[in-house]
Amino acid sequence: MARPRRIVLLRHGESEGNADDTVYEREPDHALRLTETGLRQAREAGVRLRALFGEERVSAYVSPYRRTHQTFAALGLAQDRVRVREEPRLREQDWGNWQDREDVRLQRAYRDAYGHFFYRFAQGESGADVYDRVGAFLESLYRSFEAPDHPPNVLLVTHGLTMRLFCMRWFHWSVAEFESLSNPGNAEIRMLLLGENGRYSLDRPFERWRTPEPYGRTG
């Protein structure tokens, strides 16, 4: 099994929805574009990634959303060293078909109060649903490692919540741990690095906005 030396998680650059939530009244979430700031952020991330990968090969998986495809294109990675695939299981949490800005804000507030893992958007997904499809993707990813010539680098271009849930699934974090962490910023990177002990570790933690709270007592 040729396990990669690093698995790089990259959140897309700033999108139109990040900059102005009224855009959801006019455009579906999957069609939102990067802003000029988002394009700049993606190019800056590309400088870091090109230095990191050097001449090594990369296996890249990209969420099917427009903003993630634009982010990947702006990275400027050498096409002859990158194998890229669109991966629908790495998409953003489905929010349903929203056209009312106040409904968007209200449901986000409900999610914040209820919990990001368990709250299900009307006509959309819960964080738990995203966790399940990320788990299904991981099974496919593990199988790809069986190829003796698998590239030493994996790159996932995805979304903030999906990044946290990927790490939750990989490292077997509890729901309470997941709920205590914040999303990375736009175009931020996290890496899973393969150590000499054969185990992966996160290069740097996600920011924590509160101490994890246990759900009950034992004993």
CA angle 56-172-155, nearest 5°? Answer: 20
* CA–CA dist 193, 204 (Å, integer): 10
Cα 168 to Cα 179: distance, rounded to the nearest angstrom: 10
Instruction: Answer whether 169's CB lies under 8 Å from 134's CB.
Output: yes
Quick one: tokens of 194? 């393969």
Q: Evaluate whether 170 touches 138 at the Cβ level (below 8 Å).
A: yes
Active-site residue, 69 included: no
CA 179, 182, 184: angle at the middle one, nearest 5?
140
Kindly name the residue from 14, 92, 179, 188 that is annotated as catalytic. 92
Q: Which residues are catalytic?
A: 12, 92
